[in-house]
Amino acid sequence: MQEDDAEPLNPKTRRHLRRAEIVTAAAQIFAKNGYSNVGMRDIADAVGIRGASLYHHFPSKEEILFAICLTVTREPVEENLPLLDAAGTPSERLANLVRAHVRHLRGRRVEHLVGLHERASLTSEHLAEIDEYRQCYNHRVRDVLTAGMRSGEFRELNPKVVALGMLDMLNGVSGWIRGASDDDVDEVADIYLRLLFDGLRP
Amino acid sequence: MQEDDAEPLNPKTRRHLRRAEIVTAAAQIFAKNGYSNVGMRDIADAVGIRGASLYHHFPSKEEILFAICLTVTREPVEENLPLLDAAGTPSERLANLVRAHVRHLRGRRVEHLVGLHERASLTSEHLAEIDEYRQCYNHRVRDVLTAGMRSGEFRELNPKVVALGMLDMLNGVSGWIRGASDDDVDEVADIYLRLLFDGLRP
DNA sequence: GTCTATAAATCGATAGAC
DNA sequence: GTCTATCGATTTATAGAC
Q: List, for residues B80-98, the tens digit of each pLDDT value.
A: 999 999 999 999 999 999 9
| Alpha-helical segments (H) within B34-122 | 40-47, 61-79, 82-85, 90-107, 109-117
Among A57, A25, A52, CA closest to A40? A52
Q: Is the CB of B171 less than 8 angstroms away from the CB of A168?
A: yes
Kindly report which amino acid residue has its CA closest to the C1' atom of nucleotide C11. Answer: A39
pLDDT the model gives residue B7: 62
Report whether pLDDT(A7) > 90.
no
The whole-angstrom separation of Cα B6 and Cα A195 is: 56
Q: What value does the mean pLDDT take over residues B1-19?
A: 71
Report whether pLDDT(B21) > 80.
yes
pLDDT the model gives residue A149: 98
Residues B200/A148, Cβ–Cβ less than 8 Å: yes
How much is the mean pLDDT over chain B?
95
Q: Is the CB of B168 less than 8 angstroms away from the CB of A169?
A: yes
Measure, in angstroms, how far nucleotide D8 C1' is from residue A170 CA: 45
CA distance A164 to chain B (A): 8
Lowest mean pLDDT of A1-10, A30-39, B28-37, B179-188, name the range. A1-10
Among B62, A49, A5, CA closest to A19? A49
Q: What value does the mean pLDDT take over residues A12-25?
A: 91
Q: DSSP letter for B153, please.
A: S
The whole-angstrom separation of Cα A194 and Cα B122 is: 37
Q: What is the pTM of this model?
A: 0.96
Q: Which nucleotide is nearest to A12 (CA to C1')?
A: D1
Measure, in angstroms, how far nucleotide C1 C1' is from residue A60 CA: 41
Measure, in angstroms, how far nucleotide C9 C1' is from residue A117 CA: 27
Nearest to A195 among B148, B167, B199 (CB): B199
On chain A, the residues whose CB falls within 8 A of the CB of B167 are 172
pLDDT the model gives residue B15: 81
Q: Is the CB of B195 less than 8 angstroms away from the CB of A191?
A: no
Measure, in angstroms, how far nucleotide C5 C1' is from residue B52 CA: 11
Which one is the CATH code of A61-198: 1.10.357.10, 3.40.190.10, 1.20.1050.10, 3.40.1800.10?
A: 1.10.357.10
Report whether pLDDT(B137) > 70.
yes
CA distance B52 to chain A (A): 22
Determine the longest span between alpha carbons in chain A, in angstroms.
61
Does nucleic acid strand D have an atom less than 7 angstroms from the CB of A50? yes
Residue A10 parent element (H or E): none
Residues 6+ apart with CB under 8 A from A149: A155, A156, A157, A159
The whole-angstrom separation of Cα A183 and Cα A186 is: 5
pLDDT the model gives residue A8: 62
In three-state secondary structure terms, A152 is coil
pLDDT the model gives residue B1: 54
Does nucleic acid strand D have an atom less than 7 angstroms from the CB of B191? no
Which one is the CATH code of B60-198: 1.10.357.10, 3.30.200.20, 1.10.10.60, 1.10.1060.10?
A: 1.10.357.10
In three-state secondary structure terms, A108 is coil
Which residues in window 3-22 of B are less than 7 A from strand C by Cβ?
11, 14-15, 18
Provide the percentage of residues in chain A whose pLDDT is more than 90: 92
CA distance A200 to chain B (A): 5
CA distance A153 to chain B (A): 6
Q: What angle do CA A172, A174, A177 make, to 5 degrees?
A: 110
Q: Is the CB of A155 less than 8 angstroms away from the CB of B198?
A: yes
Report whether pLDDT(B194) > 80.
yes
